[in-house]
């Protein structure tokens, strides 16, 4: 027997089965939202993992293509590595839940979400988010939940709660908000220049819905929840803190950490740690946690100075942005490049343009998302933070940062009709000390403009931090947080946007939620800062997109043909289009609506390809003058090819003004001649003539 719980959520039924499947997990929720089905489980190890100073939480979101009736493409018919969407979904689940576990908990915890079926009207991502929260809440794993998540869309100014795929496709807002009973704990958003006030309204609309879901989860926990298990605390002993303060008084620690040079600060802390290791050489149990103790001592020092004295480690004012600089065209021969520097954070972004056929193909669960025309990739090498380690490809953090900067710029990109290119921007992190994703947004915006991409508006981004005290009213917001303030603070609130409104938000916190004044204050502070960055750094460097793409970028000309003529241009098994490509050296893309994109670097070759295509799709009319190549000679006339797959005949009597006995007397294979269309003959076939050409043709 198992227990089943249901509630109406945004007009659809959410059902949770407990005790039906996966009974050996610490907690399992068999989730049904409409016909979307997800199995969410929470498991924990019996003992803490040795030798670590962090909480080892792993979140997995497994997309199975059978859930949408597909077999994976390619040679290997198993699902491969997690898709970008799966990684981003895992991050959205991880970020609000991680702060709700005990800070001194070191047992391995895995939250797994297996997508079994997908109803296009009910988001599997949302179902998994709720499933993880429920599975953890009913388990015996220590957790300060429950929490809940809601998605908000907006069409024609009206909010839609938990929109399906069709609504999300046309929505001006894609917002996910997680909440506890009292506060907002996570915000993730992509938006089409939503004004700040409207965004705040949407956030708290989601927060209201979350309270209904939390009440529902409370009922499940009351009936099915397990008693939370005890665990071995990895907290630093208080006597160790006392001993450290005797050797390193607070004044000395304050002097060590309060510098604007990251390397100097790290060197100061290294020397302090060496002194403490010598002092505690005979206390092995203290040495095991000394690193964590020094970290917490730094944290307490920085937080105290910021909160009480409004003193930041690098001496800046609370609202002050670090020194800014920007350059474009820093890399030769690429299609576009820009570098953006903010303090010790430096991003170089390179833009590449290509035909639409180079767009990324997606094999996922969302039927709307089959390809991606704009791609932003973010790289974070170890040298950017003065460390050494081998590159193993992008991790989840890199995928997340790249997606945030990509989402920030999507609303201002030109349509395919306006700019028929696939676009890739790559952010290379040259130096990192806080909020490289926001620097990536600024750098990629300038790189796009330098490449001649006609973006509609300039986009910039900035991060706002937070340090809280003992009460909800005791807090300080910090504009443009550097790494130290991110590590030791309570929040990383990233906002990108134009002068008109917000295009993306990503909020991470380390505490149990934010009050509304904090959320409103952070959004206002970020608007003020991004406008400052645009006006004082980006616009003086490049104020608008260049009128043309660069010298080394492919040129694309788009023409429209009758969709009924697509087959004529393509030809049997692609014979006709391949002949045009071979003859001219261009690339040709045709979509189902008859939009033909011709891509190349040689204008004459592109013009020739367009001429051939237009010849193929144009019906012959009397009086039309054409140029053709002699491809076949018969006794009665010659056959001319006007374009690949498009031929016509000139009768022997229409070749020359005087009578000729043989076609070969005037024409040979390969000759290129002009002809005039005479209309249809008695048999209904088009007739062409050389001798009837006007003298000036």
Q: How far apart are the first and last CA of the chain?
A: 90
Asked whether 686 and 677 are in contact (CB, 8 A), the reply is yes
Cα 653 to chain center, whole Å? 66
Please tell me the distance from the alpha carbon of residue 694 to that of residue 164, in angstroms, as a whole number: 64
- Strands 502-509, 491-497: pairing is antiparallel
How far apart are the C-alpha atoms of 109 and 55, rounded to whole Å? 8
* 529, two tokens: 């800062």
CA distance 150 to 164: 12
CB under 8 Å, gap of 24 or more: what pairs does 662-668 form?
Answer: 663/633, 663/634, 663/635, 663/637, 663/638, 664/633, 667/630, 667/633, 667/638, 668/630, 668/633
Paired strand residues for 480: none
Residue-level length of the chain: 697
Cα Rg of the chain (Å, integer): 32
d(CA 252, CA 269): 11
Residue 511 DSSP one-character state: S
- Cα separation, 533 vs 404, in Å, equals 18
Distances in Å between the Cα of 179 and the Cα atoms of 100, 413, 545 are 11, 32, 40
492 is in an annotated binding site: yes
For residues 136 and 145, is the Cβ–Cβ distance under 8 A? yes
Give the span between the Cα atoms of 296 and 286, in whole angstroms: 14
Q: Which residues of 358-396 are buried (b: 16+ CB within 10 A; e: fewer)?
A: bbeeeebbbeeeeebbbbbbbbbeeebbeeeeeeeebee
- Side-chain half-sphere CA neighbours of 301 within 13 A: 22
* Residue whose C-alpha is closest to residue 19's, from 230, 216, 225, 222: 225
Could you tell me which of 375, 377, 373 has the C-alpha nearest to residue 422? 373
Query: Is 559 in contact with 581 (CB distance < 8 Å)?
Result: no
29, 668, 676 from 654: Cα distances, Å: 83, 15, 10
Return d(Cα 170, Cα 13) in angstroms, integer.
Answer: 24
Phi, psi for 405 (deg, rounded to 5): -65, -35
Enter the DSSP assignment of 227: P
Q: Read off φ and ψ for residue 426, nearest 5 degrees.
A: -125, 125
CA distance 374 to 231: 47
Check if the beta carbon of residue 159 is closer than 8 Å to that of residue 153. Answer: yes
Q: Cα 61 to the chain's mean position, in Å?
A: 17
Annotated binding site: 486, 492
Annotated binding site for Mg(2+): 486, 492
């Amino acid at each position: 027997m198992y227990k089943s719980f249901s509630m109406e959520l945004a007009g659809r039924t959410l059902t949770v089965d407990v005790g039906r499947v996966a009974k050996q997990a610490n907690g399992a929720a068999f989730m049904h939202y409409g016909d979307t089905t997800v199995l969410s489980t929470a498991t924990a190890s019996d003992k803490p993992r040795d030798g670590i100073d962090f909480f080892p939480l792993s979140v997995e979101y497994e997309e199975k293509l059978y859930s949408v009736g597909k077999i994976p493409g390619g040679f290997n018919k198993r699902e491969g590595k997690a898709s970008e969407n799966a990684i981003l979904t895992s991050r959205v689940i991880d970020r609000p839940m991680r702060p709700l576990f005990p800070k001194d908990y070191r047992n391995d915890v895995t939250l797994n979400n297996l997508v079994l079926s997908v109803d296009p009207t009910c988001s599997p991502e949302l179902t998994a988010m709720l499933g993880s929260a429920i599975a953890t809440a009913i388990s015996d794993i220590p957790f300060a939940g429950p929490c809940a998540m809601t998605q908000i869309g907006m069409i024609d100014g009206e909010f839609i709660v938990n929109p399906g795929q069709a609504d999300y496709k046309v929505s001006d807002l894609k917002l996910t908000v997680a909440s506890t009973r009292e506060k907002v704990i996570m915000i993730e958003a992509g938006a089409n220049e939503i004004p700040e006030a409207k965004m705040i309204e949407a956030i708290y609309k989601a927060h209201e819905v979350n309270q209904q879901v939390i009440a529902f989860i409370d009922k499940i926990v009351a009936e099915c929840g397990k008693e939370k298990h005890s665990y071995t605390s990895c907290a630093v002993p208080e006597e160790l803190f006392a001993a450290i303060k005797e050797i390193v008084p607070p004044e000395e620690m304050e002097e060590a950490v309060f510098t604007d040079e990251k390397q100097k600060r790290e060197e100061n802390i290294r020397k302090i740690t060496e002194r403490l290791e010598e002092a505690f050489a005979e206390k092995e149990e203290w040495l095991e946690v000394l690193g964590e103790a020094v970290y917490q001592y730094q944290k307490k020092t920085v937080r105290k100075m910021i909160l009480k004295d409004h003193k930041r480690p690098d001496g800046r004012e609370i609202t002050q942005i670090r020194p800014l600089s920007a350059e474009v065209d820093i890399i030769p021969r690429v299609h576009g490049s820009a570098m953006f520097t903010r303090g010790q954070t430096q991003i170089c972004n390179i833009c590449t343009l290509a035909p639409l056929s180079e767009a990324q193909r997606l094999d996922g669960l969302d039927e709307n998302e089959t390809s991606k025309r704009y791609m932003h990739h973010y790289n974070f090498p170890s040298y950017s933070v003065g460390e050494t380690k081998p590159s193993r490809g992008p991790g989840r953090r890199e995928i997340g940062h790249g997606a945030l900067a990509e989402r920030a710029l999507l609303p201002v990109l030109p349509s395919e009709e306006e700019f028929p290119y696939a676009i890739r921007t790559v952010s290379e992190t040259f130096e990192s000390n806080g909020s490289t994703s926001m620097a990536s947004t600024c750098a990629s915006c300038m790189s796009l403009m330098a490449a001649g991409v006609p973006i509609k508006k300039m986009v910039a981004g900035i991060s706002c931090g937070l340090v809280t005290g003992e009460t909800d009213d005791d807090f300080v917001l910090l504009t443009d947080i550097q790494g130290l303030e991110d590590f030791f603070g309570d929040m990383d609130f990233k906002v990108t946007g134009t002068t008109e409104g917000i295009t993306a938000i990503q909020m991470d916190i380390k505490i149990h939620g934010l009050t509304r004044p904090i959320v409103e204050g952070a959004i206002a502070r970020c608007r003020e800062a991004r406008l400052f960055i645009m006006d004082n750094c980006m616009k003086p460097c490049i104020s608008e997109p260049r009128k043309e793409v660069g010298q080394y970028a492919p040129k694309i000309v788009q023409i429209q043909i009758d969709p009924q003529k697509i087959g004529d241009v393509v030809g049997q098994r692609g014979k006709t289009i391949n002949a045009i490509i071979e003859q001219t050296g261009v690339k040709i893309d045709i979509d189902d609506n008859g939009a033909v994109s011709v891509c190349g670097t040689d204008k004459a070759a592109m013009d020739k390809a367009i001429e051939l295509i237009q010849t193929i799709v144009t019906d012959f009319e009397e009086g039309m003058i054409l140029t053709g190549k002699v491809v076949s000679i018969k006794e009665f006339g010659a056959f001319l090819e006007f374009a690949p797959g498009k031929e016509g005949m000139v009768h022997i009597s229409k070749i020359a003004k005087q009578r000729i006995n043989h076609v070969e007397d005037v024409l040979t294979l390969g000759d290129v001649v002009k002809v005039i269309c005479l209309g249809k003959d008695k048999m209904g076939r088009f007739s062409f003539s050389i001798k009837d050409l006007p003298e000036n043709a």
